Amino acid sequence: MHYLGWIGMALVLFGYFLNAQKIMSSWLVWIAGNLIVGVYCLSIDALPTALMSFSIMIMNIYGFFSWKKEKKISL
């Protein structure tokens, strides 16, 4: 199950890279990464970190729709 933590971490870092490049998919990568990290943290009983990951995931969703609205991007 530890592989989930590594996958989530890699996705979160890749999301930062994409966001720095102003690429819209950064938000989707972040959402996936934070979801995976949150699930991993629940599996190891790290509740504060899981809550933080799920909270950040909600902010990622907000950021995605804010960018989408601002840039008028359709999916």
In tens, the pLDDT along 52-67 reads: 999 999 999 999 999 8
Q: Rounded to an integer, what distance in angstroms lies between the CA atom of residue 30 and that of residue 7?
A: 12
Taking Cα atoms as reference points, which of 9, 2, 3, 11 lies closest to residue 44? 2
Residue boundaries of the structural domains of the chain: 2-71
pLDDT attached to residue 16? 94
Entry pTM: 0.86
Give the type of residue at 50: A
Rounded mean pLDDT of 43-58? 96
Angle between helices 26-43 and 47-71 (to 10 degrees): 170
